[in-house]
Amino acid sequence: MSTDTVAVAPVAAGRSVRRPWIRDLRTARILRFAFGLTAAVAVSFGLSWPLFFITPMLVAVFLALPIPAPTIRQGLDNIFYILVAFVLGLGFTLILLSYPLVYVFALGLSLFHIYYLANRGGPFFLVLMCLLAVFILPMMGLQHQALAVAFTLHFPGSAALAVVFIWLAHGVFPDPPTAYPAMAQGGFKPGYSESAAATALKSTVAIWPLATVFVVGEWTGQLLTLVFAAIFSLSPEVSKGTAAAVKSMKSTLLGGLAAVVFFFLLVAVPEFHFFIALMLFTALLFGQGIFSDKPGARYLPSAVIALVILVGSSMTEGASITDKFIGRVVLLSAATFYVVAVLSALNHFWPQREPIT
């Protein structure tokens, strides 16, 4: 549904006096996105704690969605999902990584259950966090277990701060008192599902060998390739997996080009207040595109995330944003090629069985 054509109910007198600039839902969303992302970037980049970039990244993800303000229960649920996922990943790292054969078997079993949960309508955020945890933490543990422990300790804190910024943005720029249309809730499907199990098994078969090679070869430098491939394979249907990969590729190109321009403007005026003003201007431009009917709007939320990550990783001494941009594109290309090739082969030799009616 277009955010431009949402009918707006009359604004209450008190609210219209306090916030006369919020005339419709689209305007509120654009301003909220720009304010929330800029505030998160200002605090995160200003303090620069470990994994500081996680906070603006998650803020960009959730404020780009056309949904109402998260409830306290939803915010706490997301934090709980992170804790569950990273406890799982830390268990793999501290307990199983010392026994490679056991680890590989347990990884395959865990991947199957993660994909099975996704195909039964489980919380997508929990699925995503579990995938990240079982890949990122063990790969860090191959270098040093302290890295995995530090990542586990700092990630939930950064995520919790992101929830605070999301609530703050909704508080400063609330939606007009417009009734959101009733949305169909797929929800979690309890009980055994043969189709979900078959789909999960296909995704596991696609990713498990790749993950095993990465662990055995200790390819920690190419971890993003594994993570991207795992996310693309959430749907083992080739068209959907390919579409997700192509979307990520286009988003990275858009975000990378924007990050290059952003970085060189910042080099010309290396002042923190200019950095914040530039981020606000950039967020306003992206926000107008995200909440529009333009065909390229679906690429912009991920492009903003790519911009935040590339700019954040390039502000260290001696960093090169062009090298990181090119490297990210290469990794996405490798993940795309792997997903398309393996899922095409699986669907050819292992076609989806039609349900019996």
The domains of the chain are located at 21-178+189-349
Angle at 326 between CA 264 and CA 223, to 5 degrees: 120
pLDDT at 284: 93
pLDDT at 282: 92
Residue 214, number of CB atoms within 10 A of its CB: 20
- The total of other beta-carbon atoms located within 10 Å of residue 72's CB is 9
The whole-angstrom separation of Cα 200 and Cα 206 is: 10
Residues 141 and 97 sit within 8 Å (Cβ to Cβ): yes
Taking only the tens place, the pLDDT of each residue in 38-97 is 999 999 888 888 778 888 888 888 888 887 888 888 888 888 888 888 888 888 888 887
Pairwise CA distance, residues 213 & 206, whole Å: 12
Q: How far is CA 227 from CA 75, 130, 253, 352, in A?
A: 25, 11, 18, 25
Residue 185 sits at φ, ψ, to 5 deg, of -105, 110
8 Å CB contact between 160 and 87: no
CA Rg value for the chain: 21
Backbone angles phi, psi at 158, to 5 degrees: -65, -40
Confidence (pLDDT) at 262: 86
Which segments of the chain have a pLDDT < 70? 1-23, 178-191, 220-226, 228, 231-249, 313-325, 328-329, 331-333, 335-336, 339, 343, 347-357
Sign of CA dihedral 207, 209, 215, 220: negative
CB 118 within 8 A of CB 76: no
Give the pLDDT of residue 70. 80
Tell me how far CA of residue 307 lies from CA of 102, 216, 270, 275, in angstroms.
Answer: 39, 32, 18, 13
Instruction: List all residues 6 or more positions away from 240 whose beta carbon is below 8 Å from its beta carbon.
Output: none
- For Cα atoms 323, 324, 329, give the angle at the middle one, nearest 5 degrees: 100
d(CA 118, CA 114) in angstroms, rounded, equals 6
Q: What pLDDT, on a 0 to 100 scale, did the predictor assign at position 75?
A: 80
Q: Is the distance from CB of 175 to CB of 28 less than 8 angstroms?
A: yes
